Amino acid sequence: MNEIRIRPAAAGDARLLATLRYRFRAEKGKAVEGENDFVARTTPWIAERLAREDWRAWVALDGEAIVGHVFIHFIDKVPNPVPEAETLAYLTNFYVAPSLRNRGAGALLLKAAVSACEDMEVETVFLRPTADSVPLYRRNGFVDAALLEHPLESHD
């Protein structure tokens, strides 16, 4: 393993990020869409989001190979008259290649994303962790919080 470097994702990374997204989610369960079809559908979606101001992403590089990524979607809050930040950040699509997990790449990606949120004076960064990822988030300052949700779709 080379020294892991982190850089902002670019639109030119979209195809590889779509491929990694497929692998990430296919680890969690049986895919109902083939990889080629998914990548063809998702590549323009990612490229379009990376061109917008409300989405940012970072990639982890081992040498020149992208081995991980994390995305942030910035969400504007309704303006208010008190001294409170008016942006939230949803951290999503956080993935590190299995061979590099628990070796620091995830912590570096998380640091890059949280630093950008601090620079933008975001109020809160929130996410939906997997059970395996909770220790990483807790080591990096995330805490359990009250968040209510109303699921609208069954995920059987």
Which positions of the chain have pLDDT values less than 70? 1, 154-156
pLDDT of residue 38: 94
Residue 150: inside a domain: no
Residue 144: inside a domain: no
Report the number of distinct structural domains present in the chain: 1
pLDDT of residue 43: 98
Q: Which domain holds residue 124?
A: 4-139
Identify the CATH number of the domain in which residue 61 sits.
Answer: 3.40.630.30
CA separation, residue 103 to residues 98, 108, 109, 136 (Å): 10, 10, 12, 11
The pTM score is 0.90
On the CB side of 132, how many CA atoms lie within 13 Å of its CA?
Answer: 9
